Amino acid sequence: MEIDRPQPQWLPPRAPQPLTDPPLSEPAAPPPPRTGVRRVLGPLVVLGALLFKFGKAALLLLPKAKVLTTSLSMVVSVAAYALIWGWKFAVGFVALLFVHEMGHYIQLRREGVKPTGMLFIPFLGAAVGTRSLGGSALAEARVGLAGPILGSLATAALVPIALATGDDFWKALAFTGFFLNLFNLLPVVPLDGGRAFAAMAPWMWFVGLAAMALLFFVAPNPILLIILLLGAFETFRRWKERKKGAEGNAAYYEVKPAHRLLVAGVYVGLVVLLALGMDATHVERTFDDV
């Protein structure tokens, strides 16, 4: 049986393709040159938009700059103290410094003064920046004593922890906190004790300087030297300008006897309590502890 098969369909041969690429389309005409006004205004508009954008962001971040500076200086201080005492003790010590300075900060706000910020300086402590101390020697004394008062309360809170745990770490930290606040009560400006004596007896600044010089002679220390130099400069400046206004004005040091007595009572009470606190939290060290 014969089967019909489909016949193949033949296509005509294709024409040979050219070896060269097809011609490209003509390039688009360049944009017309900008006039002088457009040439200047264009970049200015872009620059103005960028300045507005980043300037707005800077204004929003400006209030946080002080917090950032304080935080960074705290971290640096912790790192510095950790090299000597270890990170755990360093964190506790810087925390006590912070509470102490917060006492000054809070009292400045109560005196109607807005502090400019807080800065921690390794091995020198910390300071609250301010352009005024309240306008009178009594206000200055209140600001000066507020730091040791709040700092002493924070340190005293460590004593129950030390008694409950029996850990000498807490006793050592409390001892250091008591010593920190007691040292700040030395009658030398710009220490807190010098601030208090501005309302009690400014002439005691010279006694404090003499005691500081004697202490430095007995136990030379770079920190004592820095405080001694700062105290001498500040005492000389304030005593010289006592009749010129600002914090040297004679009226600045006019304090009622009752207020003078109250400042003296707080000052002496703090000194006694801090000395007792140091005695209660003192930890005997032996060569085995080193």
pLDDT at 262: 96
Asked, as a colleague might, if the bond just before 43 is cis with ω within 30 of 0, I would say: no
Other CB atoms within a 10 A radius of the CB of residue 201 amount to 14
104 vs 189: CA distance, rounded Å: 15
pLDDT at 97: 96
pLDDT at 64: 58
| The residue to which tokens 């009178």 are assigned | 136
- Which residues on adjacent β-strands are paired with residue 129? 117
Kindly list the domain boundaries of the chain, sorted by start residue.
Answer: 68-282
pLDDT at 220: 86
Q: Would you give per-residue pLDDT tens digits along the chain (290 residues)?
A: 444 444 444 444 554 555 454 554 555 555 555 555 445 445 444 444 544 444 444 444 445 567 888 889 999 999 999 999 999 999 999 999 999 999 999 999 999 999 988 999 998 889 998 888 888 999 999 999 999 999 999 999 999 999 999 899 999 999 999 999 999 999 998 899 999 999 999 889 999 899 889 988 888 888 888 888 999 998 888 887 765 655 557 788 889 999 999 999 999 999 999 999 999 998 876 545 54
Q: pTM for the whole thing?
A: 0.74
| Number of helical H runs and strand E runs in the chain | 9, 2
pLDDT at 241: 73
CB neighbour list of residue 188: distance below 8 Å, 6 or more residues apart: 194, 205, 208, 209, 212, 227, 228, 231, 235
pLDDT at 260: 95
- Which residues on adjacent β-strands are paired with residue 126? 120
3-class SS letters over 98-153: HHHHHHHHHHHHHCCCCCCEEEEECCCEEEEECCCCCCCHHHHHHHHHHHHHHHHH
- Which residues on adjacent β-strands are paired with residue 79? none
pLDDT at 57: 46
pLDDT at 180: 94
